[in-house]
Amino acid sequence: MEYLRPFRIAITVWDPCVLFYQSGDLFLAIYVDNITLFGATGELKEQTITVLNTEFNVNDMGELYWLLRFQITFTDDGITLSQTTFIDKILNRVPMQDCKPVLMPIKSHVQLKAIEAEDERTDATA
Cβ 24 vs Cβ 12: under 8 Å: no
pLDDT digits (tens, 9 = 90+) for 12-58: 888 888 888 877 778 888 888 778 887 777 788 888 888 888 888 88
Cβ 18 vs Cβ 28: under 8 Å: yes
The pTM score is 0.54
Tell me the C-alpha distance between 20 and 37, whole Å: 9
pLDDT digits (tens, 9 = 90+) for 74-91: 888 888 888 888 888 888
Mean pLDDT, all residues of the chain: 79
pLDDT digits (tens, 9 = 90+) for 102-120: 776 777 787 888 877 777 7
Tell me the C-alpha distance between 52 and 54, whole Å: 5
